[in-house]
Structure 1
């Protein structure tokens, strides 16, 4: 507005840097066997038998702090904290012992009723200005048990309402006013309250941390895929805006080959973020009993860079540019071409993720 382009570019670049360097530290606490480890594995897309999986042994009690980095986004870390109330971790000293200030927010887990120590911990967290969320796990098992015990009178919604009511009442008795409890199943993340929990987290996180949080989410619904796509579109737009404000300096020293290599990197990054890269496809292949070749018949992004024997990669990109813009001469400066190409790559990869969700996971239900 003031015509100070240099300052404007500096502000935008600072915002982009904050987004790209943001770290998210998520703490999980709760009694042994409450499903913390299963939640971590499900969120990170790690099988329980994988070497880097969080331990899910029923009788194991967490006596030290364990960290689990996201396999694709190492700046997102889950911290499995010791159970509060054990001899070595009493409520009054717990937050100091577990390095409270290191975490962005807390999940407090239970597979039954929340305990008095859970409520005390929540109150301490609130007093120190951090967010916490009560997570009641294993509701799929509760529903199954209730269905078997009362096959004639079983009502799914009534059972869920009763579980939520019991948890809330117990927390209210120990001093938590209007507690919000999220019912989840670690084996059915797309069901129950998990999507609602993600929405609330997305709203309450700072903008730069919201970006990395959304990218780290598992592809369990088209809504999540759309959220990932929107946050990446915003980042593409911010970077394009800096090119618009300084079109000459941003292109100095960049050869055509450098530009193509940069576009290839963008495509590869999008494929990793949406789980349609080669490593992700291999994992999907193993879990769905479908070959990688079959999976690639459903999607388009692996073929975007495919070139013919008599064609160069540069010519392949020129062909895509023309198909998007009606000819290279109509596209304007390179940064406009790059912007449109990135959006095209992003749209294609996001559509691929939705296709795999429908063809592989939803068809197996």
Structure 2
């Protein structure tokens, strides 16, 4: 497919590499960066010393850790509080779907139930037995459920704060773990209040009363993070805020892992996924660019095209615009899946007609993307065409995800 776009400055001076690397990552807030500040500083130092291979090694280690780092989130609380429904929402599955957590109310579950994310294996949500089922003191309860392996706790409540919940929160804090109080079924409380006090009912006041009751109950151990949600409508109330807070509060090594597991509840969720995915592509491109001191002939071979197909499908999967997700959404909306697909671009990116080759079409995408972004993305780097295509695919899939979000919102 010929040489890369002309006009690229030579990168035989590592100063341009350092500048490119620094300029890119300084645009992200610390909590939104996919690699730690320590990793960024280490790469910069190696580049300044012209130790390019060491810089590549640091990036390789960071990418490896990103890929394998597990996340374990525990969901505990009283029986019937909505633990299973919350787990299904966090996993992005409907209660009736295959593999969903059982939402039937039961006091008989003594086991710790793990639920892996249906698409990405690194996240596991653990449904813990209710306090009443095990009838153990909080400290013993935590030992029984192997609390040390969890990165985060959800304490799920649906009626009013209990002594057991407060005691459990104390033990979690002693062990330096983080937790949220998730108050479910607030829609039920609001409906009840509105029915009993139609003249004086005020939604915000009622929710504030619920929140205040938990703040009073937990005042001796600090001010907990409290989220008021509905088990039936995850886009309403404070579920989107809960998701945003959880991403920020997870350890610096793991927020990017969690963001890819979230459902697209809002455009902010989609944008956050987009920024994390873009950083991953950028790291791969930077690593490749470290070794490129002269322009290279960049030809897309058949094996490259197959990898690009795999990458496009991966992005569609991450953003919930894959064929399986589209079929499920079409079924929910009771419309033909093709009608839904016609509103999107990503399912057709690699389709060609008789007069056009796939290679030619991909070259058009490269030129289109480079033109829209002012030429090359990094001063001093020779990016291969495949990286432009990754960015182009990601942009397209992100826009498709926003279209689907709009479609889903219009049906509610």
TM-score (norm 1): 0.92
Residues 1:22 and 1:128: Cα distance change in structure 2 (over 3 Å): same
Which of 394, 397, 410 does residue 346 from structure 1 map onto?
394
User: 1:3 aligns to what?
Assistant: 50
In 1, the alpha carbon distance for the partners of 2:69 and 2:90 equals 19
Matches of 1:219 and 1:157, distance apart in 2: 26
Corresponding residue for residue 81 of structure 2 = 34
1:302 aligned partner:
347
Task: Report SS of the residue matched to 1:134.
Answer: strand
For 2:300 and 2:123, how far apart are their aligned partners in 1?
Answer: 34
Q: Which residue of 2 aligns with 1:363?
A: 410
Counterpart residue number, 1:265: 310
Q: Map 1:98-247 to 2 at 5 A.
A: 98-172=145-219, 175-247=220-292
In the TM superposition, residue 320 of structure 1 has moved relative to its aligned partner by 1.9
Question: Could you tell me how far 1:284 is from its partner in structure 2?
Answer: 0.5
Does structure 1 conserve the Cα–Cα contact (< 8 Å) formed by 2:83 and 2:156?
Answer: yes
Q: Find the partner of 2:129 among 73, 82, 86.
A: 82
RMSD: 2.2
Aligned-pair CA distance for 1:255: 6.5
Counterpart of 1:44 in structure 2 is 91
Distance 1:235 1:227 in 2: 13
- Aligned counterparts of 1:72 and 1:256: Cα–Cα separation in 2: 29
Contact 1:116-1:171 at 8 Å conserved across structures: no
Match of 1:207, SS state, is coil
Q: Which runs of 5+ in 2 are unaligned?
A: 1-47
Q: Provide the residue aligned with 1:56 in structure 2.
A: 103
Instruction: Measure the CA separation in 2 of the matches of 1:208 and 1:320.
Output: 34
Structure 1 counterpart SS, 2:140: helix
**CA offset digits 1:332-360 (Å, max 9, x no partner):** 998432222111111110110101111x2
Task: Give the secondary-structure state (helix, strand or coil) at the position aligned to 2:154.
Answer: strand
Q: Deviations over 1:143-198 (max 9, x none)?
A: 112112222211110111011011221223xx322233111112222222222222
Deviation at 1:120, TM superposition (A): 1.3
Judge conservation of contact 2:300–2:359 (CA < 8 Å) in 1. Answer: no
Kept after mapping to 2: 8 A contact 1:107/1:132: yes
Distance 2:306 2:251 in 1: 32
Aligned residue for 2:180, secondary structure, equals strand
Q: Equivalent residues in 2 for 1:247-286 (5 A)?
A: 247=292, 256-286=301-331
Contact 2:240 2:265 in 1 (8 A): no
Structure 2 CA distance for aligned equivalents of residues 110 and 20 of structure 1: 34
Structure 1 contact 48–54 (Cα < 8 Å) conserved: yes
> Which one has more relative contact order, counting CA pairs under 8 Å at least 6 apart?
2
Structure 1 residues 208 and 265, CA, compared in 2 at 3 Å: closer, same or farther? Answer: farther
* Residue aligning to 2:141: 94
- For normalisation by structure 2, the TM-score amounts to 0.82
> How far apart are residue 85 of structure 1 and its match?
4.5
Q: How many Å separate the matches in 1 of 2:135 and 2:196? A: 40
Separation in structure 1 between the aligned mates of residue 320 and residue 226 of structure 2, nearest angstrom: 30
Determine if contact 1:301/1:348 at 8 Å carries over to the other structure.
yes
Distance in 1 of aligned mates of 2:218 and 2:382: 59
- Deviation of 1:50 after TM superposition, in Å, equals 2.2
Please report how far the alpha carbon of residue 211 of structure 1 lies from its aligned counterpart in structure 2 after TM superposition: 0.8
